[in-house]
């Protein structure tokens, strides 16, 4: 004669299953939030262009400053500035300009560009591809910078390379993904 498990057994199984599912959902959510592999929350072209036009003077000033300081810095954020060799007045000017455009805006500088990062994902992930989207200034034009496309909105996250949408002379929207 066999007996079937009682209601206490089923309650325990249900509780354990619920805990496992809740943990799994939390882990997947944390992964998506940290690495953003699906490019969730990417800004639309029109949003970035409007932001650029609304803050054109700040972008121009930041571009000039970043080029002037490119010998001593390659990446700028509110958090990284206090570790730089820049004067306190220069750091404060960067912070004021960056914060005036958008909270947590970062800037990367290089010999052929100044890039303002508005969205990124997959950074530091072993299984997700690294990508970034923003606005870039290319002093020598786009020939060294990437491929011109009509819109970044249609770009998906499956295209490796650098893609540009012209805004104004030497200013572009940029989507970059490297495997």
What confidence tens digit (pLDDT) does each residue in 2-38 have? 677 767 776 676 777 766 766 665 454 444 444 444 4
Same domain, residue pair 14 and 63: no
- How far is residue 144's CA from residue 90's CA, in Å, rounded to a whole number? 30
pLDDT at 89 over 50: yes
Q: Is 109 part of a structural domain of the chain?
A: yes
| Residue 125: closest CA among 179, 44, 49 | 179
pLDDT digits (tens, 9 = 90+) for 114-149: 999 988 775 544 455 677 889 999 988 777 668 889
- How far is residue 69's CA from residue 179's CA, in Å, rounded to a whole number? 30
Tokens coding 173:
């929207």
- What's the number of domains the chain is made of? 2
pLDDT at 93 over 60: yes
Q: Could you tell me the strand order of the sheet in which 106-110 lies?
A: 75-76, 106-110, 113-121, 130-137, 171-178, 161-168, 147-148
Same domain, residue pair 83 and 151: yes
What pTM does this model have?
Answer: 0.72
| Residue 134: closest CA among 63, 79, 52 | 52
Same domain, residue pair 143 and 80: yes
Q: What domain range is 144 assigned to?
A: 45-178
- How far is residue 164's CA from residue 169's CA, in Å, rounded to a whole number? 13
Same domain, residue pair 118 and 174: yes
Q: What is the DSSP letter of 129?
A: P
Q: Is 6 part of a structural domain of the chain?
A: yes
- How far is residue 81's CA from residue 91's CA, in Å, rounded to a whole number? 6
Q: Is 40 part of a structural domain of the chain?
A: no
Same domain, residue pair 20 and 61: no
Q: Classify residue 117 as exposed, middle or buried by CB count within 10 Å of its CB (0-12, 13-18, 19+).
A: buried
pLDDT for position 30 = 46
Name 75's Cβ contacts closer than 8 Å, sequence gap at least 6: 106, 107, 108, 109
Question: Mapping DSSP to helix (H, G, I), strand (E, B) and coil, where does residue 102 land?
Answer: coil
Q: Is 8 part of a structural domain of the chain?
A: yes
Name 41's Cβ contacts closer than 8 Å, sequence gap at least 6: 119
Same domain, residue pair 26 and 108: no
């Amino acid at each position: 004669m066999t007996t079937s498990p009682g209601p206490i057994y089923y309650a325990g199984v249900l509780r354990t299953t619920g805990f496992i599912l809740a943990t799994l959902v939390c882990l997947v959510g944390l992964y998506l939030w940290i690495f953003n592999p699906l490019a969730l929350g990417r800004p639309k072209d029109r949003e970035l262009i409007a932001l650029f036009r609304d803050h054109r003077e700040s972008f121009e000033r930041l571009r000039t400053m970043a080029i002037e300081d490119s010998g001593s810095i390659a990446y700028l954020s509110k958090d990284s500035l206090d570790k730089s060799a820049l004067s306190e007045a220069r750091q404060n000017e960067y912070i004021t300009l960056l914060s005036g455009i958008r909270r947590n805006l970062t800037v990367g500088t290089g010999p052929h560009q100044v890039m303002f990062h508005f969205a990124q994902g997959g950074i530091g992930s072993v299984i997700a591809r690294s990508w970034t989207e923003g606005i870039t200034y290319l002093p020598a034009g786009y020939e060294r910078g990437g491929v011109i496309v009509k819109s970044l909105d249609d770009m998906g996250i499956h295209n490796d390379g650098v893609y540009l949408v012209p805004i104004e002379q030497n200013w572009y929207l940029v989507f970059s993904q490297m495997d």
